[in-house]
Amino acid sequence: MLNRRQKLGQRGEALAERHLKKLGYRILERNYRNKLGEIDLIARDNGAFVFVEVKTRRSDRYGSPRLAITPHKQKKLSITALSYLKQNRQIASKARFDVVLINAAGDTPEIEIIQNAFNLCYG
C-alpha cells in the first residue's frame, strides 16, 4: 500500500510523462532501477538519451522542488545513467539530465521542465 507521498510522486511522474510525450520525447523506461539507483523516466529526445528526475510538491513548505536535486542526488543519477548506457551499449551516445518540477498545489498542476539541469557528476 502506497503512502500519501508515494501517491503524489506517482501522480507527478504520470503528469511528467504525458507532458514530455506531448513535447515529442519518446519514453523508454519508467522507474528504471538497478543496484546503483533509480531514475524516474528515461527518454529519447532529438537523438539524445534523457534521464529525467521528477519532483512534485503540493506546496513550498519544505522549499522549492529545485532544492531537492542536491549534489548527492546528481551524483547518484549520474552513476545510474552511466550504468544504463553501458548496459545498453550506448556509452558513446549523447545524453543529458532534465528535471521536471511539478507544483500540484492548485487545481491545475504547474509543470516546469529544466533541460540540461546539471552535468554528469562523478565526485
Asked whether residue 83 is domain-assigned, the answer is: yes
CA distance 39 to 37: 7
pTM beyond 0.85 = yes
What CATH number did the domain enclosing 19 receive? Answer: 3.40.1350.10
Asked whether residue 84 is domain-assigned, the answer is: yes
Asked whether residue 109 is domain-assigned, the answer is: yes
User: Which of 36, 34, 73 lies closest to 53 in space, CA to CA?
Assistant: 73
Helix (H) or strand (E) holding 64: none
Q: What residue has cell string 532534465? A: 98
Higher confidence at residue 5 or residue 115? 115
User: Is residue 123's pLDDT more than 60?
Assistant: no
pLDDT in tens, 10-47: 888 999 999 999 999 999 999 999 999 999 999 999 99
First-to-final CA distance of the chain: 36
Asked whether residue 64 is domain-assigned, the answer is: yes
Q: What is the mean pLDDT of residues 48-70?
A: 80
Asked whether residue 24 is domain-assigned, the answer is: yes
pLDDT band at 70 (very low <50, low <70, confident <90, very high): confident
E strand residue ranges, 1-123 = 26-34, 37-45, 48-57, 95-103, 110-118
Domain count, the chain: 1
CA distance 99 to 117: 6
CB 34 within 8 A of CB 51: no
pLDDT in tens, 82-103: 999 999 999 999 999 999 999 8
Asked whether residue 123 is domain-assigned, the answer is: no
Range of the domain at 110: 4-118
Q: What residue has cell string 510522486? A: 9
pLDDT reported for residue 60: 67
